[in-house]
Structure 1
Amino acid sequence: MTQTTETVVDRYITLVDRAVHEPQALAELGSVFAPEATVRFGDLPPVTGLADITEFYRRFYSDMADSKHVWTTTVLGDGTLKVRFIAAWRSLDGQLASQGGTERVTVDANGLITELLVLGPETEEAR
């Protein structure tokens, strides 16, 4: 049986949506990521360590004028978090885009993210 609840990953998604309008919000990533956490977005090279993760998100959101995620977080029996999401954004030049997928997240004993793996819609069912 799985349970759905508010988790650290829910705070993470809210934080990155805020960062589009408040870039200084990225300074708060240490409240959701462990110091040596790893983030993997699909086929992009993994990003490890809080400083590099912060810089990754700063660059990732730097050309966005707006961003909004809608998601459901489920805590699986082994403690892994499964997040199904849809994201929509508008770039600074006015282009609109969206994407959906699944994130798999592991959390340490302190409740901080140690690994966040973003799977696109084409790979989410394979995991």
Structure 2
Amino acid sequence: MSRTPPLALDRYLAASDRAIADHTAMDELLDVFAPEAVVQIDDTPIRGAEAIREFYRGYVNAHVASQHFWNTTVLTDGRQRAEWVCAARTAGGAVITVAGVEHATIGPDDRIVELRNEFTRPPA
């Protein structure tokens, strides 16, 4: 029986939790993205490897624990869609929940070229 490798969005969401738990996993998180990828978590697009690294460095440093749960599907146009929820503890000690839907365009090397998030429950 052959196993299907995880989708890019599955790797991304799992790696974001691992990077918070162990900062040495940051490279694993960043490797999910193509070098010239665009990430848009809120209204501001982040372009290119260095800007994405800085964004996720801030994200990881702002949290001490997180756990995502999600369902990923591949749309008819080839994009991947993940509906997700997360519970997290911030570096300041607050416990938060957040949820959203992410769409990713995947390049030929199975890395995310464009990631767009829409919060269905903003961080609270």
TM-score grouping bracket, smaller chain normalisation: 0.7 to 0.9
2:30, 2:41 → 1: CA distance? 19
Give the letter aligned to residue 73 of structure 1: T
**Count of matched residue pairs:** 117
1:46 aligns with 2:45: yes
1:103, 1:92 → 2: CA distance? 24
1:94 aligns with 2:93: yes
2:75: which partner in 1? 76
TM-score by length of 2: 0.87
> What is the percentage of aligned positions where both structures have the same residue?
36
1:11: which partner in 2? 11
1:61, 1:117 → 2: CA distance? 19
- Is the contact between residue 105 and residue 114 of structure 1 (CA under 8 Å) also seen in structure 2? yes
Unpaired segments ≥5 residues, structure 2: none
2:54: which partner in 1? 55
TM-score by length of 1: 0.85
Deviation at 1:6, TM superposition (A): 3.0
SS in 1 for 2:120: coil
Unpaired segments ≥5 residues, structure 1: 123-127
